Amino acid sequence: MWLQRVGRSLGQGRRHLSAKIVKGTSIEVQPEDGESAATMTFPGVWLRDNCRCAVCFHGSSKSRRLDWDAFDTRVRPLSVRSDKAAGQVHVSWSDAHESSYTLAWLRQRSFDTQRQRSYLEDFYRPSTRHWAGAEFEQIAQHFDYEQVMAEDASLKQWLQALAVYGVALLRGAPLDEGVVRRLAERVGFIRRTTYGEEFIVQAKPGAQNFAYLSLPLPLHTDLPYYEYKPSVNILHCVVQTKSRGGSNLLVDAFHIADRLRSQHPEDFERLCRIPVDWNDIGSEDGREFHNIWRAPVICLDAEGKYARINHSVPQRDSHFSVPLEEVEPWYESYARFVRLARDDAHAFKTRPGDVLTFNNIRLLHGRTGYDDTEQNSRYIVGAYLDWDIIYSRLRVLKKHAPPPANKS
Ligand code: OGA
Ligand code: ZN
Ligand code: ZN
């Protein structure tokens, strides 16, 4: 193992950069510029895999082009040299390759857990803040529709609020049917489903969907019977009923799951484990469909965090493809979850020009019943967006207007 330290005075004071091989396979980089001087350790295999030279990395597509069929996972650094003036670390490898990395690039990819956490929370996906129904007025942020359409800063704040709280309200939208499309296209593009791109929620004779009645619509997830559920609902209120009812109901099901996890862990475990058959059978625009997706009510990701929630009374299939002995306990657990959610739901009535946006795979939503007559109707235009598209837009907005320096 050999070590080289280089230190030279630069204008703004002493700046050092040193790098050495540790344990034969890793490289330790020590920036000493006062601001962020912690030692960073990088596994050699990772550095070699991420070589930025033109042979290993395709610049314009920002993609790895390294020949992985020939990649040696036992590759070792033979020598390392730091160039403080250029802010670079150069490595010679046991596979006869040479690589260079800038300090800035290395810093952004430091394996330090604090740095990784801030990258994940500030850039990958903002951490969610779960809320109880009683907190709704404090957490629900309002934005001006025209401002969101015109200013990137407003667009970013809306999408950030949606990511963190799962709900945000836009106000002052015009009363035409094109609002949901224009808004979705400001972010990216509409997510199409069985029910089209834009859909109209109003009481309809011979309704093909339970929502298209004026009956109370209990708390639910839209399209739980899709493997790839639409992520965010956009509901534009064009006409609101003057009758009682027609209010929206919202509850943060991540908060309900938190409560279940701490107060009723057996129910929580069951709702995370037992797959439920969700379904939707019908036809739309002359096209017949039969959708089924099996998934638990609470779906966890690889890190044990909530990935998504599924709940719908009308769209739960009469097929329940689980072992017999799981059925009765599951009903008890599910009933507890549904009761907790119902008791925590916050009701509010949107006004014409309001656009309610919320996370369909986190919040449960519903609607109170209303009277629908010729003189007193209700007309909501809806559309969906997907998180992939929203997060991507949010990251691009953040890249162009980074947060204050001390955070990154
Ligand atoms: C729906 C729905 C809410 C509303 O159509 O799935 O939840 O306000 N509608 O009518
Ligand atoms: Zn290379
Ligand atoms: Zn719905």
For each of the domains in the chain, give its residue range(s) and CATH number, in order of start.
Answer: 2-117 (3.30.2020.30), 133-400 (3.60.130.10)
Report pLDDT for 3. 32
CA 350 to ligand 1: nearest atom = 8
Residue ranges of the chain with pLDDT lower than 50? Answer: 1-14, 407-408
For residue 372, what pLDDT is reported?
84
Q: At what angle do helices 265-273 and 324-344 cross, to 10 degrees?
A: 110
What is the chain's alpha carbon radius of gyration, rounded to the nearest angstrom? 27
DSSP 192: P
DSSP 7: E
pLDDT at 15: 62
Angle at 133 between CA 332 and CA 246, to 5 degrees: 90
CA of 400 to the centre of ligand 3 (A): 35
What pLDDT is attached to residue 405? 58
Task: Please tell me the residue having the least CA distance from ligand 1 atom 9.
Answer: 211
CA gap 377, 372 in Å, rounded: 5
Q: What is the DSSP string of 22-68?
A: ETTTEEEEEEESSSS---EEEEHHHHHHT--STTTEETTTTEE---G
211 lines ligand 1 (CB under 6 A): yes
pLDDT at 4: 34
pLDDT in tens, 1-43: 233 333 333 334 446 899 999 999 999 999 976 556 789 999 9
State how far the Cα of 115 lies from the Cα of 95, in Å rounded to an integer.
31
Within 8 A by CB and 6+ apart from 202, the residues are: 212, 372, 377, 378, 379, 380
Closest by Cα among 367, 402, 357 to 164? 357
Are 371 and 215 contacting, i.e. CB atoms less than 8 angstroms apart? Answer: no
Ligand 1 geometric centre to CA of 275 (Å): 25
CA dist list (Å): 353 to 143, 169, 170, 350, 358: 12, 10, 8, 8, 16
Give me 207's structure tokens. Answer: 């309704």
| SS3 at position 82 | strand
Give the pLDDT confidence score for residue 376 in this predicted structure: 81
Identify which ligand lies nearest to the alpha carbon of 382: 1
- Per-residue DSSP letter, 176: S
Whether 236 lines ligand 1, by a CB cut-off of 6 Å, is: no
Whether 382 contacts 180, CB under 8 Å: yes
Closest of 233, 215, 227, 209 to residue 281, by C-alpha: 209
Q: How high is the pLDDT of residue 401?
A: 82
Instruction: Give the model's pLDDT for residue 192.
Output: 97
Measured distance CA(82)–CA(20) in Å, rounded: 9
| DSSP designation for 294 | E
Predicted TM-score of the model (pTM)? 0.92
